[in-house]
Structure 1
Amino acid sequence: MSQENRFQPRKQQEDAVDKAIRAREILIITDDGNKIGPISKREALQMAEDAGLNLLQVGQQGPVAIAKIVDYGKYKYEQQKKAKENKKHQTETQNKEIRLTVKIGEHDLDTKARKAREFIEAGDRVKVSLKFKGREIVYMDLGQQTLDRFYDKVSDVATIEKAPKLNTRFLDMYIVPKKKN
Structure 2
Amino acid sequence: MAIRERWLSLNSLKKLNRNIYQNHYQHRRLSIKGEPQVRVNEEIRAPRIRVIDESGQLGVMSPDEALQIARKQGLDLIEIVPNAQPPVCKVMDFGKYKYEQSKKDRIQRKHQQVTLLKELRFHPNTDDHDVEFKLRHARKFLDDGHKVKATVVFKGREMTYTDQGRVILARIVEALADCSKVDQEAKLEGRSMTLILAPERGTKKKISKPKESQP
TM-score interval for Structure 1 and Structure 2 normalised by the shorter chain = 0.7 to 0.9
Match of 1:73 in 2: 95
Aligned residue type for 1:28: V
Please tell me the residue identity of whatever aligns with 1:118.
Answer: K
Secondary structure of the residue aligned to 1:24 is: coil
Which structure has the highest helix share of the two? 2
Deviations 1:12-33 (A, max 9, x none): 5431000111222222134444
Letter in 2 for 1:47: I
Cα distance between partner residues in 1 of 2:92 and 2:198: 46
Q: Which residue of 2 aligns with 1:164?
A: 186
Q: Decide whether aligned partners of structure 1 residues 163 and 13 sit closer, same or farther in structure 2, where only a CA change above 3 A counts.
A: farther
Q: Does 1:36 align with 2:59?
A: yes
Distance (Å, rounded) in 1 between the aligned partners of 2:146 and 2:188 = 23
2:122/2:151 contact within 8 Å kept: yes
- Measured after TM superposition, the shift of residue 92 of structure 1 is 4.2
Other structure's SS at 1:96 match:
strand
CA displacement, residues 81-126 of structure 1 (integer Å, 9 cap, x when unaligned): 2222333344444432110112323333233223323333444322
1:82 aligns with 2:104: yes
> Could you state the TM-score of these two structures normalised by the residue count of structure 1?
0.76
CA drift of 1:175 comes to 1.7
Q: What amino acid is the match of 1:40?
A: S
Is this contact kept in 2: 1:54–1:71, CA < 8 A?
A: yes
Q: Distance in 1 between matches of 2:121 and 2:36?
A: 45
Q: How does 1:8-157 map to 2 (within 5 A)?
A: 13-34=36-57, 36-37=59-60, 39-60=61-82, 64-157=86-179
C-alpha distance in structure 2 between counterparts of 1:111 and 1:85, whole Å: 35
Larger strand fraction of residues: 1
Larger radius of gyration: 2
User: Equivalent pairs: percent with the same residue?
Assistant: 35
Structure 2: distance between partners of 1:13 and 1:102: 58
- Name whichever of 78-87 and 132-141 sits farther off: 132-141
After superposition, the C-alpha distances for 1:35-69 in whole angstroms (9 at most, x for unaligned) are 512x2222221121122211111223577432111
Structure 1 contact 102–136 (Cα < 8 Å) conserved: yes
Structure 1, gaps ≥5 residues long: 1-10
In 2, Cα distance between equivalents of 1:62 and 1:92: 32
Query: SS in structure 2 opposite 1:22?
Result: coil
Report the aligned-residue RMSD: 2.7
Letter of the 1:112 partner, please give it: K
